[in-house]
Copies of this chain bind each other. A is one copy, B any other.
Amino acid sequence: MTVEDIRTLGSPVMPSRGRQRPLGLTDVVLTGGFWARLQDANAAATLRHCEEWMEKLGWLANFDRVADGTTGPDRPGWSFSDSEVYKLVEAYAWEHGRSGDPAADEAVRRLTARIGRAQDVDGYLNTAFGHADQPPRYSDLEMGHELYCVGHLLQAAVARLRTTGADELVAIAQCAADHVCATFGPDGNQGICGHPEIEVGLAEFGRALGEDRYLEQARLFLDRRGHGTLRDISLGRAYFQDDTPIREASTWRGHAVRALYLTAAAVDVAVERDDPELLAAVERQWTNAVARRTYLTGGMGSRHQDEGFGEDWELPPDRAYCETCAGIASVMVSWRLFLATGDVRYADLMERTFFNVLAASPRADGRAFFYANPLHQRTAGAVADDSEVNPRAEGGVRAAWFDVSCCPTNVARTLAAWHTHVATVGERELTLLQYASAHIEAPGGLAIEVTTAYPDNGHVSVRITRAPSGPVTLRLRVPPWATGAELAEGGRCSTVTPGFAVIDRELVTGETIELTLPMTPRFTWPDHRIDAVRGCVAVERGPLVLCAESLDLPPGATLDDVRVDARVSPSERDGTVTVHAMTDPAPAEPWPYAPASAGTRGLASTELPLIPYHRWAERGPAAMRVWLPVHAEPDLP
C-alpha cells in the first residue's frame, strides 16, 4: 500500500467490520460544555505539562543516551517509562488532528526525532534493555515491559497515520513491529509480554496499514497467553492473565489494566478474524465482571496490592483502587464491543466511566491527576506539592506527577480524542451515544448540531443542519437510569424508555429534536452481597455519582458520624443536592465489639450537601464518602 491509501482523518479504533462504525476525528467538533472544557484544559496545559515532567526526570533523555551510547545502570525511570513518551506523542498527534494546532504537530516531530535516534538497526527500540550495562533484550518478559512499550509506540503511529499520514514516526513503528514479528513469530521466541498492550497496538497498526501480519502476531500473542507461558510470581499468574486462556475465562481477574488491554485486543482479533466464539467469551467476561466486580462509578480494580480485580462482590469503597488507567482501559473494551455488537449496555457503561472515573482524574487546570479513585476517603490527605513526584498512587489529593506515571498521559491521549465516542454511524443511520454540544457530520450528507448543558441539566437539543433526501434513522441513547425521558420531534412528544429513542423518517433541514432526560437526584442501593457497603445508600443525579465531603459537615461532625434518613428523597435547590441526615458523634469504646447493637445516641439532624464525585478534593484535602450509612430505610413497596 502507499501513503495515499491511508485515510488521514480516522479515529483511534477503526474495525474493518461491525454493527456500528466510528466517525472520523473532525466529523465531530465539540462546541462547549463539560467535555469541551476538559479537552481545552488538556490541550492548553496537560500535554506540555507531561512533556516538561518527562524532560525534567530524564525519561526523554533516556532516548538520547541510548543514541549516544551513554546509557547505563543509572538510567532514571521505571523500565516502562518509554511508554509514557509514546502515549504523549499519541496525545499530541490526536490533538494536532483535532485542532490543527501546529505546536502539537511540532511536538510530535520533536519527540519523534529523539525516539528514532534510539532505535537499533534491527528495529528493536527500548531504553531500559539491550544496551551497555543493561539487562539483555527480553530477559524479563514478566516485568520488563519491552513489548508493552512497543504497543504504545504503535498506537502513537496509528494516531499519526490517521491524522497526517505516514511519517518518520510511522516508519520507526513499522521497523519496531517488524522486529517484534521476526522475534516472536510462529517459529521464534514463544514468549509473551507480562503487560498486555502489544496486542492492541499491533491489531490497530495492522488495521491502519492494512498489514495482516501484525494482526496475526496479535492473535498469536493472545493464543499463547493463559498456559503458564510466563514464570510464576508471588502475585500469581492471574496477575498477568496467564492463568487461563482468554477463550475459557469467565470473568476479569488480576491486574485490571492488564486484563482490560488484553480484552480490547481480543475484541479486535475476534472482529477481524470473524471469530464469534472469542467475541462471546469477551462478552461473557464483561457481563460477569460488570455484575459483580465493578464500582458504582464504573471504576474497576478492588485491590491496591496488585492493582487488581478482587473476587466477586469484593468492592471496598475505601480501598478501591479504581485506577484511572483501568477506567480508560474499560472504555477501550466497551467501545470496541459497542462497535462490534451495537449493544447499548456498552455505551451506558462508557458514560458512567467517563463522568465518574475519567473526569475525576484531572484537576480543573489540567496539571494534576488522580491515579487511584476510591469511593471513600477516611481522612483528609496531605496537601500535594506540585513540584514533587508523588511516590504513591493514593492519598486523596491530585498530584502533578507520579513515580509510576501512567495515568496523566493516558488521560491526555483519551481526552484529545474523546469526541470520537460521541456518535456512531450505520447504513443511513446516526446514533448519538454521549451528550455534548457539538457539530456532527455523518456520511451521506446528514449534519446536526447538538446543544446541551448536560449533565447540568437533561435537555438535549438536536438541530438538523443538513438533511439528506430520503429516510434516515437517527437514534438517541436513553441511559438506563432515565425512566420517564421524553422525546419531542415532528410535532409529537412521547415518553421513551432506556435503550435507544429512534426517529426513522425523512428529516427536514432546520428542524429540532428535543430529548429531555430526568435529572432528579435519586437514591441507589447496592446488591446485598456487596459486603463493604451493606447498610449504605448512594445518591446519583443523571450520569453523575455524588458524594459527601467533610468540608460540608456541621462543625464538630465527621463523616464517620453521618447517617442518612432514606425515607426522605434527596432534594435539589439552586443546583445543590442535599440529603436528610443525622450525625451521631458517639465516642469510641475501648473495645469496638459489644454484646448489644448500640443504636443511635444524641442524633442531630442536618441537611447534608452532596457534590459530583468527579469534583471531590477540588477545595483541598477532605474526607469523602459516596456510600452513606443509612439510619432509616424506606418501607418496601
Q: What residues of chain A have their CB less than 8 Å away from a CB belonging to chain B?
A: 232-236, 287, 290-292, 294, 296, 303-305, 310-314, 316-319, 345, 376, 378-379, 391-392, 403, 480-481, 522-538, 560, 563, 584, 586, 588-599, 629, 633-634, 636-637
Contact = CB atoms under 8 A, between A and B. Distances in A.
Given A531-B376, A531-B532, A532-B532, A538 B590 contact: no
Nearest to A234: B391
Given A319-B319, A560-B313, A592 B636 contact: no
Contact of A296 (B481, B535, B537, B593): B593
A591 B525 contact: no
A21 B599 CA distance: 42
A593 B392 contact: no
Contacts of A530: 592
Contacts of A378: 311-314
Contacts of A319: 303, 310, 314, 316, 319
B593 A525 contact: yes
A594 B305 contact: no
Contacts of A345: 590
Nearest to A588: B291
10 contacts: A291-B589, A291-B590, A312-B378, A313-B378, A314-B318, A318-B531, A481-B595, A528-B598, A529-B592, A530-B592
Contacts of A589: 291, 527
A228 to B, nearest CB: 14
Given A480-B591, A534-B536, A590-B287, A316 B313 contact: no
A516 to B, nearest CB: 19
Given A311-B379, A316-B532, A597-B636, A291 B560 contact: no
Contacts of A588: 291-292, 527, 529
A314 B314 CA distance: 15
Nearest to A527: B592
Contact of A234 (B379, B392, B629): B392
A597 B524 CA distance: 8
Contact of A629 (B296, B534, B629, B633): B534
Nearest to A590: B291
Contacts of A233: 391
Contacts of A287: 590
A560 B595 CA distance: 24
Contacts of A536: 531, 534
Contacts of A596: 525, 636-637
Given A314-B378, A316-B532, A525 B598 contact: yes
A592 to B, nearest CB: 4
With most chain B CB atoms within 10 A of its CB, the pick from A235, A294, A311, A529 is A529
With most chain B CB atoms within 10 A of its CB, the pick from A319, A376, A563, A592 is A592
A523 B595 contact: yes
A313 to B, nearest CB: 6
Given A524-B593, A528-B586, 17 more contacts: A234-B391, A236-B392, A291-B588, A303-B305, A312-B379, A313-B560, A318-B531, A480-B591, A523-B595, A524-B595, A525-B595, A527-B592, A529-B592, A531-B532, A532-B532, A537-B597, A597-B636
